[in-house]
């Protein structure tokens, strides 16, 4: 008897069991197959991914700037772009309002102090000046009349006093003769008494006249002084009014070059309007903006220099504006001697001496310093294909160079451009 096996029920260890779909296999076979596939896939991913992880973040070589560490002489100087500005400027602001009648100078003209620039007209000012002049003239007439009255009163009092003194002297003589006659028995005692009373009355009249005259003259003098003070005040106001009218003819307040001037005939000018400025013609200064890193290393009087036409001109720091704007502050430099022929707005490279020169390892300066604080850099390998993050010690910065104190060796190349795109990476993969 021959035994046959149905293809629908193969033996448990038959090769046909491996050809069946996964869903039709027993549960333990499905779990084993899934575990084996997952392990193979994980191994493949790790095999392909590990090299990528070891190479770091991709960066195009053309997107970064490199600098080679070199041994050299560190000149503790700061080279900065400065612009030429006038040493002194006088602003021209209108102090009166009026209509421009004539313009006698043009923008860019060289002026001398007192030179007439333009004229304004103001009918209101002219009317006020006429009214003030008339008021002063009237008060001067009143003062003259009051002074005449005072002099006339003083003359009348002098005449009255002279007459009273004459009558008193005559009374004394008469009383003396009467007394002599009374002693000789030719005049009665009553006549002597009457003569004495008349003399006393004349003395009282003289004293009263003197007192009244002094009081009247004092009153008149006080009125005269008050009138004089009032007239002086009116004259001062008249002078001020005349000065305001004279100010309508505007003259140059200083020598120099006129800039920013654009008045036109017929234009109306109001008080406080900026009309232009006068810049010193032959005296200049340099103005530069310096990185805030150097705020504590620059002081007034610090030496500087600028090269122009093959000649070096000495300067010194004249003024520092410590207000930081956009990471920079302003420094003004003055020439130690007569400045060369310059043009306002001209740009020059000035060199500020921050310290003495010394030998050191040097690295080019760049935006990386601000973003890393000078504590770490990305250093390229010998092949130039990878860059590793490395802690360093950096010192002074000057003239586009940084002093290397530790962490770098001569000949090593360092990325000095911005680290912002890959600031958190530990290594970089440089691509052509």
For position 404, which CATH number holds?
2.40.420.20
- Domain holding 377, by residue range, is 57-76+358-431
The reply to whether 135 falls in a domain is: yes
Cα separation values, 161 from 137, 157, 257, Å: 36, 6, 73
pLDDT for the residue 33: 57
The reply to whether 27 falls in a domain is: no
Token readout for 228 is 């004089």
pLDDT for the residue 50: 40
Instruction: Please answer whether residues 367 and 339 qualify as being in contact, where contact means their C-beta atoms are separated by less than 8 angstroms.
Output: no
Whether residue 408 is found in the same domain as residue 303:
no
pLDDT for the residue 288: 93
pLDDT for the residue 241: 66
Whether residue 180 is found in the same domain as residue 237:
yes
CA-nearest of 296, 311, 318 to 397 is: 296
Whether residue 340 is found in the same domain as residue 202:
no
CA-nearest of 373, 384, 359, 299 to 78 is: 299
The reply to whether 293 falls in a domain is: yes
Q: In total, how many domains does the chain have?
A: 4
Q: How far from each other are the two terminal CA atoms of the chain, in whole angstroms?
A: 80
The reply to whether 34 falls in a domain is: no
The reply to whether 334 falls in a domain is: yes
The reply to whether 52 falls in a domain is: no
Look up tokens 């890193």; give the residue. Answer: 293
Can you give the pLDDT of all 432 residues of the chain as single tens digits?
333 333 434 444 444 444 445 445 566 565 555 555 555 554 544 444 444 344 578 999 888 899 999 998 887 778 888 998 888 888 888 877 788 888 888 888 888 888 888 888 777 776 777 777 777 788 788 878 878 888 888 888 888 888 888 888 888 888 888 888 888 888 788 888 888 888 888 888 888 888 888 888 888 888 888 888 888 887 777 777 676 666 677 888 888 888 888 888 888 888 888 888 888 877 888 999 998 888 888 889 888 888 888 888 899 999 999 899 988 999 999 888 877 778 888 898 888 887 777 888 999 999 899 888 889 999 999 888 899 999 999 988 877 889 899 999 999 999 999 998 888 889 999 888
| Sheet hosting strand 386-391, strand order edge to edge | 57-60, 427-431, 386-391, 376-380, 413-415, 66-68
The reply to whether 26 falls in a domain is: no
Cα separation values, 355 from 72, 259, 304, 314, Å: 16, 39, 11, 16
Burial of 363 (0-12, 13-18, 19+ CB in 10 A): buried
pLDDT for the residue 47: 42
pLDDT for the residue 161: 86
In the beta sheet, which residues pair with residue 335? 315
Whether residue 257 is found in the same domain as residue 366:
no
**Contacts of residue 194, Cβ cutoff 8 Å, sequence gap at least 6:** none
Whether residue 255 is found in the same domain as residue 219:
no
CA-nearest of 315, 336, 393 to 361 is: 393
The reply to whether 39 falls in a domain is: no
CATH of the domain at 330: 2.40.30.170
pLDDT for the residue 45: 43
Whether residue 293 is found in the same domain as residue 406:
no
CATH of the domain at 113: 2.40.50.100
Which of 193, 226, 246 lies at the terminal end of a domain, its last residue? 246
Whether residue 260 is found in the same domain as residue 407:
no
∠ CA 315-256-334, nearest 5°, is 10
Look up tokens 């009143």; give the residue. Answer: 142
Whether residue 211 is found in the same domain as residue 319:
no
């Amino acid at each position: 008897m021959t035994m046959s096996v149905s293809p629908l029920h193969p033996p448990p260890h038959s090769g046909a069991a491996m050809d069946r779909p996964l869903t039709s296999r027993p549960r333990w076979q499905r779990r084993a197959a899934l575990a084996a596939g997952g392990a193979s896939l994980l191994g493949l991913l790790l095999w392909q991914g590990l090299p990528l992880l070891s190479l770091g973040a991709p960066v195009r070589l053309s997107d970064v700037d490199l600098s080679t560490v070199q041994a050299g002489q560190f000149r503790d100087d700061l080279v900065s772009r400065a612009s030429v500005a006038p040493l002194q400027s006088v602003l021209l602001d209108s102090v009166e309002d009026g209509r421009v009648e004539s313009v006698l100078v043009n923008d860019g003209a060289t002026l001398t102090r007192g030179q007439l620039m333009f004229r304004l007209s103001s009918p209101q000012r002219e009317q006020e000046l006429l009214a003030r002049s008339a008021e002063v003239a009237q008060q001067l007439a009143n003062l003259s009349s009051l002074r005449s009255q005072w002099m006339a009163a003083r003359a009348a009092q002098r005449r009255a006093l002279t007459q009273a003194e004459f009558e008193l002297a005559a009374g004394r003589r008469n009383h003396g003769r009467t007394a002599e006659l009374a002693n000789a028995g030719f005049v009665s005692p009553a006549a002597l008494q009457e003569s004495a009373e008349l003399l006393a009355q004349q003395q009282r009249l003289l004293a009263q006249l003197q007192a009244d005259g002094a009081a009247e003259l004092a009153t008149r003098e006080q009125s005269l002084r008050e009138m004089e003070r009032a007239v002086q005040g009116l004259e001062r106001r008249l002078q001020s009014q005349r000065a305001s009218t004279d100010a309508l003819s505007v003259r140059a307040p200083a020598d120099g070059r006129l800039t920013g001037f654009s008045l036109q005939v017929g234009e109306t000018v109001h008080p406080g309007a900026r009309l232009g400025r006068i810049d010193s013609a032959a005296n200049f200064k340099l103005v530069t903006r310096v990185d805030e890193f150097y705020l504590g290393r620059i002081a007034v009087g610090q030496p500087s220099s600028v090269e122009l036409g093959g000649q070096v001109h000495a300067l010194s720091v004249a003024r520092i504006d410590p207000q930081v704007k956009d990471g920079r502050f302003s420094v003004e430099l003055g020439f130690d001697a007569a400045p060369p022929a310059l043009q306002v707005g001209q740009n020059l490279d000035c060199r500020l001496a921050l310290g003495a020169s010394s030998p050191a390892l040097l690295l080019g300066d760049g935006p990386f310093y601000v973003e890393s604080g000078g504590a770490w850099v990305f250093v390229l390998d010998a092949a130039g294909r990878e860059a590793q993050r490395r802690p360093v010690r950096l010192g002074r910065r000057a003239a586009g160079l940084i002093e290397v104190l530790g962490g770098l060796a001569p000949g090593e190349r360092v990325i000095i451009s911005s680290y912002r795109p890959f600031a958190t990476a530990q290594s970089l993969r440089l691509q052509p």
